[in-house]
Structure 1
Amino acid sequence: MEEKLALIRFNNVGKSYYFSTDLDIHKGEKVVVETVRGLELGEMITELKDLSEFNLDTELKRIKRRANRADLDLFEFNKTKAMKSLEICRDIVKEYKLDMHLVNCEYTLDASKVIFMYTSESRVDFRELLKELASVFKCRIELRQIGPRDKSKIIGGIGSCGLPLCCSSFLGEFDGVSINMAKNQMLAINIDKISGACGRLLCCLKYEDEAYTIEKQRFPKIGARVRYEDKIVRVVGLNVISDLVKIEHDGNISFVSLNEIKTLPSKDRKHDQRSH
C-alpha cells in the first residue's frame, strides 16, 4: 500500500496530529505511535488521506503498528496505575509544601515516562520534588503546568446549558474567544454569566458569532433613525433571533417586527441628523 496520511487523536477529546503510514487502517481503529512524549496509543478519527492533498514541508512520523490486545490491556492498566501515582504524588507535594494543585497523571504506553499536570498561581521550584518523584517511580518524570481551560477539559463537569462541558466532550482544542463576541450577540456583559466552569469566557460564544454577524446585516444599526408607521423613530435595541427591533419615540419604548420598519432614504437621514 502507498504512503497515506492518518489523523490520530489521543485521550478521546485531545488534540489531533497527522502521521504517515502504509498500513491498511480505518477510522475508529487504535494504533501505536511514537510522539515527543514517548510511545502512545491513539485512535484514527478519519479515513486515510492521500499525501498529494497536502503541501507538507516537514517529514511526518510513521505509525508504528495497529494496536493489539496487549497494547489495549496495557493502556487500561496504565490508567489505573496513573490514578494511584497521582495520589502518591499529591502526598509528596504536600510534604514539600509546594503551591501547586495536581490535576491529572498519565503514563506513556510503555510506562517509560509519567506526566503530572498541575495548576499554580505562581512559579514553582520543583527541583527537589523531581528528584523525589524519580526515586519513587523509577522512570522519567514530566511536570506540566496547565491553564484553567485545560483543567476543566481534564476534570469535566456540567455547563450552564445542562450538558457536559464542550471541552471535555468534543472540543479537540480551544478557539480564541473574545468579549467582542458577547457584545456582537448583544449579551449583557456580566462576567459571571458569560464565563464557563474554567472561569474564562464561554467557548460557546464562538459558535454563533458568525451567524449573528451575518444576520445583523439585515437590521438597522442601533442608534439609527428609521420610519415606523408614519413616525421617525430611533433604534435602541435588536432581537436577531425573533426578528424584532426595539424602537424609541417620544420616550416610549416598544418592540416591532423588522419588516414593519423602513430605512430612511439617504437625503432624509441627512436632514434628520441636522435637525437633531
Structure 2
Amino acid sequence: MATLVSFHAHPDDECIGCGGVMRKAHEDGHRVVLVVATRGELGEVPDGFLDEGEQLWQRRVAETQASADILGVDRVEFLGYTDSGMMGEPTNTAPGTFWTADVEEAAERLAVILREEKADVLTVYDDHGGYGHPDHIQVHRVGMRAAELVGTQRVYQGTMNRDLVLASRAARSDLEAPELPDNFGTPQSEITCAVDVSAYLQHKRKAMRAHASQISEQSFFLALPDDAFQFAFGVEWFLRDGQGPGITETDLMAGLT
C-alpha cells in the first residue's frame, strides 16, 4: 500500500479535479489523504440555505468530510488559513488568508502531514492555479516547497486540458457554460499525465453533490447530461517535472505497492 496526499485550496476543489484519482487510488488499495488549505469562508450561498447561527465554513467542512467519504479518503486535514477570494479582491490581503501566508511556514504545515503519512505521491495545482485563483496559485507554491522539504519525489500538478475544454464548448453550444479566463488550463501538448477516471464518475458526481452549498443541481457541473459529464470529467490531467514530451503517464500510483 502506498499513500496519496491530495492538496487543495477550498472545499469542493478536491472532487472536481482529483475526485477520480482519489477514488481510483482507494479502490486500488492505497491510502488517501486530503489536505485543504482553507475552509472556503468566502463561498456564496442563497439566502436561507444555512441553519440559524450556522457559519458557512462549518457547512463546508461537513460537506468536505461527506465528499471525502464518497471518494475513499482515509484522513482529512485543514491547514487553518482563510479563503482569499478571487484575484484582485480586497479580501486577498486580509490577515490570515492563504494568499498572504508565508510560503515557508505554510509549506512546513503541509510537510508535517507528508512526513506523518510517509507520502509517496502528492497532488497540487499548476503554477497558475488552473485559472488564476490566488489560493490555487499558493497551493502550487506551498505544495512544491513542502515536497522539497520532505523529499516527496512524485508530485503531480493538476490542470485542465485547455484544448479539450475549448473543443467541448464548440461541440456543445447548446449548453450554458461559464466564461473562461485567458489563462485557463494547459494546452494538451504540455500535459504529461492523463488518468482515465470514467469508472469512477458516479463517485465524482456524488461527491460534487455533497458540496450542495456551492454546487447546486442547476450548476454547470451537475446540469450536464451524462455523456457531456463523461467527456468533461472522465479524464483528469496533470503535469509532472521530468516527464514528457506528451502523455507519458496514465496512473499516479503506477509501480507503487
Asked if TM exceeds 0.5, the reply is no
Bigger relative contact order (CA 8 A; separation at least 6): 2
Whichever of the two has the greater Rg, that structure is 1
Bigger proportion of residues as strand: 1
Q: TM-score, normalised by structure 2?
A: 0.22
The normalised TM-score by structure 1 is: 0.21
More helix by share: 2
